[in-house]
Amino acid sequence: MNFEKYTERARGFVQSAQSLALREGHQQFAPEHLLKVLLDDPEGLAAGLIDRAGGRSREALNGIEASLRSCRKCRAPGPARST
């Protein structure tokens, strides 16, 4: 994948999604991170497409947020255990 071939706007969404995954401490960058930032976009393009197609973008966002809450988080290594 040549990231440079993406438009600046598309690269911004991917970078925002990666930042979201890092900020939340998730172990993996998943499609749900990208969908969340697309649905949170102030211009509302993704949400508008869902709504105009007869879907419910607010429900989609709620579902994605629930899915992200259940993602595995990275854990900082704890103190070594002695046996």
Question: Per-residue pLDDT tens for 3-60?
Answer: 889 999 999 999 999 999 999 999 889 999 999 999 999 898 999 999 999 999 999 9
Q: How far is CA 53 from CA 35, 37, 44, 49, in A?
A: 17, 20, 14, 6
What pLDDT band is residue 72 in, cutting at 50, 70 and 90?
Answer: confident
Q: Are 24 and 65 in contact (CB under 8 A)?
A: no
- Going by C-alpha positions, the residue among 37, 28, 27 that lies closest to residue 64 is 37
Q: Is 26 helix (H, G, I), strand (E, B) or coil?
A: strand
Dist CA 20 CA 31 (whole Å) = 12
| Predicted TM-score of the model (pTM) | 0.80
> Hunting for tokens 């706007």 — which residue is that?
9
Dist CA 12 CA 20 (whole Å) = 12
- Give the relative orientation of helices 31-40 and 57-69 as an angle to the nearest 10 degrees: 140
